[in-house]
């Protein structure tokens, strides 16, 4: 069972009460920090993949492929479209795709922590793994499509605002 919210830690001997964020909140903060490495000028996305013991087994952010110029330096053909539009013109590899490429065993993926709900294509890729929970912070323009595919597959999703 995964708990959401804050834990209250108490030390009665010292009279201390302090709150500690739960691990999924911490992983979301890590995904947000990772998204700052993005080289896409339209959207910054980070993704952390966790196994069933909440260990990181993959991480990624969106950006250009190895050796290609970064969109923040030389904008790609999709750079001036609104986020979620003109994806066929965009040269960025999605955060979820980069994280999946780091995974030695995609069946070991238990949770995907994404700053933005995955697009339809990344959702379908995650469906082909052991992932059964997507934790996300914000919607993507096409969230409804990806979310419907995910829910139809009887997988779980949860929004965490940090």
Positions marked catalytic = 96
What three-state secondary structure class fits 106? helix
Q: Please state, in angstroms and rounded to a whole number, the distance separating the CA atoms of residues 128 and 113.
A: 16
Do 45 and 116 form a contact (C-beta atoms < 8 A)? yes
Residues in Cβ contact with 11 at an 8 Å cutoff, skipping those fewer than 6 apart:
none
């Amino acid at each position: 069972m995964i708990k959401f919210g804050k834990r209250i830690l108490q030390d009665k001997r010292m009279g201390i009460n302090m709150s500690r964020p739960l691990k999924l909140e911490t992983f979301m903060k890590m995904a947000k920090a990772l998204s700052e490495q993005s080289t896409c000028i339209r959207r910054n996305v980070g993704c952390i993949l966790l196994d069933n013991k909440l260990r990181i087994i993959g991480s990624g952010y969106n950006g250009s492929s190895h050796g290609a110029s970064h969109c923040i330096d030389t904008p790609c053909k999709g750079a001036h479209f609104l986020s979620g539009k003109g994806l066929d013109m965009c040269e960025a590899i999605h955060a979820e795709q980069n994280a999946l490429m780091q995974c030695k065993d995609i069946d070991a993926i238990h949770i995907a922590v994404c700053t933005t709900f995955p697009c339809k294509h990344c959702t379908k890729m995650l469906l082909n793994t052991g992932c059964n929970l997507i934790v996300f912070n914000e919607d993507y323009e096409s969230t409804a499509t990806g979310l419907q595919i995910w829910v139809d597959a009887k997988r779980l999703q949860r929004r965490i605002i940090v």
